[in-house]
Structure 1
Amino acid sequence: MNGATRLIGTMAATGALAMTGGVALACGPGSGGSYTCTGGLVPSGTYSNLKITGQCAVADGAKITVRGSVWVAANAAFDAQSAPATITVGGNVTAGKGSLLGLGCQPTSLVGNSAHPCETNPEGHSTILVKGSVTAIKAMAVLVNGIAVRGDVTALGGGSPQIPWSIKNNTVGRNIVVAGQNTEWIGVMFNKVGRNVLLYDIALSDPDPGAPGVFIVQNKIQRNLVCYRLTPGVSGGFVPGAVNTVGGVALGQCSSLV
């Protein structure tokens, strides 16, 4: 399941991301200092830190360097998954309650699977590196696709009855932890993970009978895969014989997915 098109349609319909040409003026040019985007497009440039307090996105081909960290405030949105961009973050990316965090997009032709195509340029792809960790606490939606994270990817709580979450095609140096969501759909797929993948207390509301649970598909995990209290269950995807590869053990509901 690809969440990009559904995300853009849903957010546009609800008004949470009103990304018209005019709103780009809400963000000024990068100057190398700390920068706050209150709405519109984050301009290319180098920043000491980046704070997102409104509905913000990136332009196709944007080049953004943040020497420190990126913080997405409660109920704000940072959409860096609809347009291909080059983004380097020296510290952490943190998203607050009710926020939307979208990082990365790529075509099927690049990764050889269902991918997460860029809305503005379906054959383009992002190049995103986070040298620290990515953390979302009670976010409305998390879409992290085709990026490199040297630390952990952690999503605790939150969710939306309309927006599917995806953690897909990433290279993660340490752990992926997803827990406590009540949301439409979640997929943890095609990731390369240096330590563990832990998923627990997730309840999905997707009525599609073709999506029977949390999708945990063809990840390559150096240590352990642990899954508990995932409702209505788990799925290894639709490719017969496709499994997750773990260097340690697979426990709980994921024991059958290796």
Structure 2
Amino acid sequence: MNGAMRFKVIGTLATTGVLAMTGSAAMACVPGPGGSSGYTCTGGLVPSGTYSNLKVTGQCGVADGATITVRGNVWVASNATFDAQSAPATITVGGDVTAGSGSLLGLGCQPAELVGNSAHPCETNPTGHSTISVKGNVTAFKASVVLLNGVTVRGNVAVLGGGSPVIPWSIKNNNVGRNITVAGQNTEWIGVMFNKVGRNVLLYDIALSDPDPGAPGVFIVKNTIQRNLICYRLTPGVSGGFAPGSVNVVGGSALGQCASLV
């Protein structure tokens, strides 16, 4: 899929989500069972505030310029949406972010001029950027879509199973303290690009279905990895991107299909 079409697909998804979120006053974030400082969002925009935990069970997003602090964990239920990649916001999570099967998890957006690469522009404010940090881990189990862009994660990023036939996945411009693992997807496209990773990057058992791939394969481009880059059973293969010198810096070993991408 070419870049313009890829952003068009994501933009359509974001616009549709915002319309759904703002079109009904009945869909709103309400106090959750964890107490007055815990929130459950059944639909709409998560308001600025400080919460003990955040549970997302409907189609939820964040407002442009929102400031949200979650002292504990963020949980996105099966088939729910947490869209924090369409509007720039400041989000701080003291624990983990976990997304269930069929969900959409989108965190972070930024303009290309901020990061010096293809970036992931904010749909509602193309010149804005998010500041999102997670003290624990980000984990998605059989999610429909995962979009992580410009996020600081002190622990691990693990994206296991899932996929979408029409929505591309992006994991780029993140700063991850430990490991990135992406495995078991049957999806349209995946890019793991421009990340700084404190330990290892492992990708395996990924099958792409992009009908117009350009440079075919899982994009693994210009990551800085302190330990190892390991890739196995990726179809139709791997790609270092289009720009000359789009290789990865690896402190340890590059193994499997990624051996040539250093």
1:202 aligns with 2:206: yes
CA RMSD after TM alignment: 2.0
Q: Deviations over 1:104-138 (max 9, x none)?
A: 00000100000000000001000000000000000
Q: Please, which of 19, 22, 25 is the counterpart of residue 20 of structure 1?
A: 22
| Identity, % of aligned positions | 79
Q: Please, which of 2, 7, 10 is the counterpart of residue 7 of structure 1?
A: 10
Q: Which runs of 5+ in 1 are unaligned?
A: none
Pairing of 1:220-235 with structure 2 (within 5 A): 220-235=224-239
Structure 1 distance, partners of 2:161, 2:227, is 24
User: 1:154: which partner in 2?
Assistant: 158
Q: Which runs of 5+ in 2 are unaligned?
A: none
Once the two structures are TM-superposed, the CA of residue 9 in structure 1 deviates from its matched residue by: 1.2
Once the two structures are TM-superposed, the CA of residue 242 in structure 1 deviates from its matched residue by: 2.0
Q: Give the conservation status (yes or no) of the 8 Å contact 1:4–1:81.
A: no
Q: Give the conservation status (yes or no) of the 8 Å contact 1:96–1:138.
A: yes
- The one-letter code sitting in structure 2 at the alignment partner of 1:9 is T
SS of corresponding position for 1:56: strand
Q: Please, which of 47, 58, 76 is the counterpart of residue 54 of structure 1?
A: 58
Q: Please, which of 66, 79, 86 is the counterpart of residue 82 of structure 1?
A: 86
Q: Please, which of 39, 42, 45 is the counterpart of residue 38 of structure 1?
A: 42
Q: Give the conservation status (yes or no) of the 8 Å contact 1:44–1:62.
A: yes
User: 2:134: which partner in 1?
Assistant: 130
1:115 aligns with 2:119: yes
1:254 aligns with 2:258: yes
- Equivalent pairs, count: 257
Q: Deviations over 1:151-196 (max 9, x none)?
A: 0000000000011000000000000000000000000000000000
Once the two structures are TM-superposed, the CA of residue 217 in structure 1 deviates from its matched residue by: 0.2
Q: Give the conservation status (yes or no) of the 8 Å contact 1:32–1:46.
A: no
Structure 2 distance, partners of 1:252, 1:17, is 44
**TM-score, length of structure 1 as denominator length:** 0.94
1:98 aligns with 2:102: yes
Once the two structures are TM-superposed, the CA of residue 7 in structure 1 deviates from its matched residue by: 2.1
Once the two structures are TM-superposed, the CA of residue 241 in structure 1 deviates from its matched residue by: 1.8
Q: Please, which of 165, 171, 186 is the counterpart of residue 190 of structure 2?
A: 186
- The one-letter code sitting in structure 1 at the alignment partner of 2:121 is P
